[in-house]
Each structure stands twice: as C-alpha cells, then as structure tokens.
Amino acid sequence: MATCENFVAAFENIGLYKEIFYDCAAENIDRKSAAKKIAYIYENFLSDGRTAVEWLKEAVALGDKNSRFKIAEIFRDGRGVEADGARAVMWFSKILNDTDSPDHERYAAAFEIGKMFHEGRAVPPSDTTAVKYFALSAKAGVVTARVAYNTLAKIYSCGDEIAPNIEMTLHWLQKAIEVGSNRAAWNVAKIFRDGKFGVNQNGEKALEILRVPASKKFDVINKVAALRMIAEIYDKGLGVPEDKEKAANLYQEAARINDEWINAINNLQMRA
C-alpha cells in the first residue's frame, strides 16, 4: 500500500513533470517522458485511470506508440476506471492496424484481443472472434505462437461455441510442435497412443512425435517425460508390438538421466 510519504512525493512529482511538459523550450522527448510519468502517478498513486489515459494520449500524440498498449490495458483491466472492453479492443486494434509498427508489437496486440474474447475479459466471450486474432498473433514470435496455437487446438477440441473438430485440433497442435511446444507434442502423442477423438490408434505415429523431445540434451524434464511415455507404449503394446525388454531399458534410461539431473542440482545448491 502507498504511504503518506508516497502520496506527498507523487503530488510533488506531478508538479515537476507538468512544469516540464508545459515548458515550450523543453525537447519533445522530455515532454513525452513527463506525460508518461504523470500518467503513472495518476494510475498508481491516485487510482485515477481516466486522467492517466488523457496523459498517455498526450504521450501518443508526441510519438510514444508504446503508450497505446498501456491505455488498452487500463480499459481492459479497469485500472482506476470502469472496465471498458470496447475501448480496450479499439486501442489494441490501433496497434494491430499500424503497419509502421514492428510486426511483433502488432501481433502481440492481436494476441491480447484474442485472449479477451476467449476468456470473456471485459467483452462478451466469443471463440469465433478469438480464433481470428489468435491465428494472427502467432506472427508475434515463437513464445506467443506456442500459446496461440495450443489455445486454438483447445478451442477446436472442446469448444462450446465452435463444434469440436479433430482435424483442426491436430492442425493447430502440429503448428505448435513446429515452434517447439512440448505440451503440444504430448497431446498429439497421447491422441495417437490411445486412439482418442475418433483417431485410429497409431503407436508408431506417437513414437515419431516423441522422438523430438526425447532427443533433447539440455531439456531434461521433457526428455525424461518423453522417454517414459515411449517406454509405456512398448510396455503395454499401445499401437505397436509389445516389447518388455525395450520398455525396461527405456525406463532405466529415464531414471538414470533423472537421477543425474537431481544430483547435479543438489551439488549446485550445496556450493551456493
């Protein structure tokens, strides 16, 4: 919680930054920075999101495009104002439609709009709308793409508004695998291992998918999990000929790698 001293300092800073902002001799960069700092004080110390938004608009007018994202978040989250999903979407859309902005910023805004509609956050929930924005947001970068693709797969696998569609589920999970999502790899492997959602059981396909995480040297957690799942497929003959010996060797390899990793962590902690 803010103390009395914090409030006093905040009021003093507002006066200082306003003086900088309104000083015609000041450089634009100083006025831009002052506007953002005034907005910060109104939002975080005075819980006045509406005034904060007005100052952020000043920063935008002076060329600070990042302030558009902040305005959208204030309206989305109701920070010192009543939550207003329509205005949040409008400001996120300004970023998305600004072709002069870097692609990762534009499509990060698309991701935020997709989340809003998927979660029903300050807007009526609509997976039909969310799908459009999540598909765009994959261009924001690898990390965002993993989340977007996995969310799209979830929507098509068990969505209420959109009828379940295994082909689209597998399509988006495959896209997630292509950008390095181990979560997607597990889900696809399980589908083929167990023959879920009308898909024929195919142990070989499951093994093919699991070989990627199983081959990773420096991702021990996912490597061990993949080896154990491969061992289970051979142990129970899930879509492949049962091979107890191969399963036992894989279980032992997974246990050895896991034990070595735990011992390495313990040694590091002892040295700290």
pLDDT tens-place string over residues 171-209: 999 999 999 888 899 899 999 999 888 889 999 999 999
When the pLDDT of each residue in the chain is averaged and rounded to a whole number, the result is 90
Note the pLDDT of residue 146: 94
Contact 230, 271 (CB under 8 A): no
Contact 170, 164 (CB under 8 A): no
157 vs 6, residue with greater confidence: 157
Which tokens belong to 110?
């698309």
- In angstroms, the Cα distances linking 157 to 98, 168, 185, 188 are 33, 8, 15, 12
DSSP 141: -
Contact 239, 195 (CB under 8 A): yes
- Using pLDDT thresholds of 50, 70 and 90, give the confidence band for residue 270: low
Residue 253 confidence (pLDDT) above 70: yes
Note the pLDDT of residue 113: 98
Note the pLDDT of residue 2: 52
131 alpha carbon, distance to own chain's centre: 15
Contact 210, 189 (CB under 8 A): yes
- Using pLDDT thresholds of 50, 70 and 90, give the confidence band for residue 1: very low
pTM of the model: 0.82
Rounded-to-integer distance, Cα 207 and Cα 197, Å: 19
Mean pLDDT over 152-161 rounds to 88
pLDDT digits (tens, 9 = 90+) for 73-83: 999 999 999 99
7 vs 148, residue with greater confidence: 148
pLDDT digits (tens, 9 = 90+) for 200-241: 999 999 999 998 888 877 678 888 888 999 999 999 999 899
Residue 86 confidence (pLDDT) above 70: yes
Closest among 137, 262, 190 to 182, alpha carbons compared: 190
- Using pLDDT thresholds of 50, 70 and 90, give the confidence band for residue 132: very high
